[in-house]
Amino acid sequence: MKTSAKDFFLHIANIIVLYAGIIALLHLLFRVINVAFPQITQYGYYGQTSISLQVATLIVAFPLFLILSNIIRKGYVINPEKKDYPLRKWLVYITLFLAGIALAGDLITLIYYFLDGQELTIGFILKVLSVLVVAGCVFGYSMDDLKERLTTERRNIWRVIAVVLVLGSIILGFSVIGSPATQRKVRYDNQKVADLQNIQWQIINYWQQKGSLPQALNDLRDPISGLDIPMDPQTKEAYNYEKVTDKSFKLCAEFNLDRTNDLMAKEMSIYSSPYPYMPGSENWKHEAGLQCFDRTIDEDLYPVRKEPAVF
């Protein structure tokens, strides 16, 4: 019996949705683990803890997989010969192969770390367990499908396991990383830090060009180059700037969250000098509410540019 176009695309779509959901689920679990148990040598920035894409993928992929699987199953009931489609068996064997590779690679990594005397951190162990559970479930389900063991009762058991795993991971992700409202606040704070960095380097350029600090942010505007001053994306108001001395100034913004103890704050704490040096290397830790950053111009790092002699 030949495979119809409908059956072909149903099986292909089903396997693609399955793989997309598995990848999203593992990425979600890994990000939650990275936030809950950060490594000392782990580097990242504010936006890298977002789980929006992974959760969105699971919300769409998981129900779609159940719907497509149900449609395919009903086709098998009406026409049992469809179970012998070469395409179906190829896709099941490919899934078994990939799940087996993932399980074997996971165990090899765990044994290697143990034999090599490397530290088995909680985060590492949880990642290994995540791969074992997810890949093990995929392997078990595929074996049941291949061996024709997917009775109604057994299929319902796998559905319950999948629902618990997916919903549990999403709930865990939001509880560790924060709700969508919290993520929105994080993005606002990220943009504010980026804006302050931009303004800071405009001030430094102003200093190098004119040998003095601007009295106000409006002094930085340049209609010829099109240079403009960023505004607070949340309040739509100007950021606070104050010239303290001839060589020092402060920039202030209103932040939503305390970012003094998170992963980025720990990484950036080594840059505690009040002298601007390079983008991203200043201390931008901040508490919730109004936060000011004191900066002092180092003339050795930022000498005033002398105009070329005129002959």
Show pLDDT as tens, one digit a residue, over the chain (311 residues): 566 788 888 889 999 999 999 999 999 999 888 878 866 544 444 445 578 888 999 999 999 999 998 898 888 888 888 777 888 889 989 999 999 998 898 888 888 888 877 767 888 889 999 999 999 999 999 999 888 888 889 989 999 999 999 999 999 888 877 778 888 888 899 899 999 999 999 999 899 988 899 999 988 887 776 678 899 999 999 999 999 999 999 999 999 988 776 544 443 333 334 444 444 445 788 889 999 999 999 888 888 887 654 44
Final residue before a domain boundary, out of 144, 178, 212: 178
Boundary of a domain, candidates 159, 178, 197: 178
Alpha-carbon distances, residue 226 vs 213, 219, 223, 229 (angstroms): 20, 13, 5, 10
What pLDDT is stored for residue 45 in this prediction? 40
Quick check: pTM over 0.75?
no
Question: What domain range is 211 assigned to?
Answer: 182-296
- Identify whether residues 10 and 119 lie together within a single domain: yes
Say how far apart CA 268 and CA 257 lie, in whole Å.
17
Integer angstrom CA distances of residue 81 from 52, 53, 154, 166:
41, 39, 21, 33
* Residue 282 burial (CB count, 10 A): 21
Q: Which of 94, 70, 77 is nearest to 146 (CA)?
A: 94
pLDDT computed for residue 269 by the predictor: 37
Domain boundary among 178, 205, 237: 178
Q: Which residue in 45, 97, 96, 64 sits closest to 166, CA to CA?
A: 64
Clarify whether residues 24 and 94 are in a common domain.
yes
For residues 188 and 157, membership in a common domain is answered with no
3-state helix, strand, coil in the chain (%, to 5): 60, 10, 30
Q: How many angstroms separate the CA atoms of 244 and 248, rounded? A: 5
**How many Cβ atoms from other residues are within 10 Å of residue 160's Cβ?**
10
Same domain? For 148 and 213 the reply is no
Which residues face 249 on adjacent strands?
Answer: 243, 295
Residue 10 resides in a domain: yes
Half-sphere exposure of 244 (CA within 13 A, CB side): 13
Q: What is the DSSP letter of 83?
A: G
Question: Same structural domain for residues 160 and 197?
Answer: no
Task: Check if the beta carbon of residue 35 is closer than 8 Å to that of residue 50.
Answer: no
Type of residue numbered 90: W
Does 131 share its domain with 206? no
To the nearest 10°, the Cα dihedral for 222, 224, 230, 236? 100
Distances (CA, A) of 76 to 69, 70, 83, 153: 11, 10, 6, 17
CA atoms within 13 A on the CB side of 271: 16
The values of phi and psi at residue 281, to 5°, are -100, 5
**Total of domains in the chain:** 2
Q: What is the DSSP letter of 304?
A: P
Q: Tokens 């001053």 label which residue?
A: 229
DSSP H/E element including 243? strand 240-243
pLDDT at 113: 82
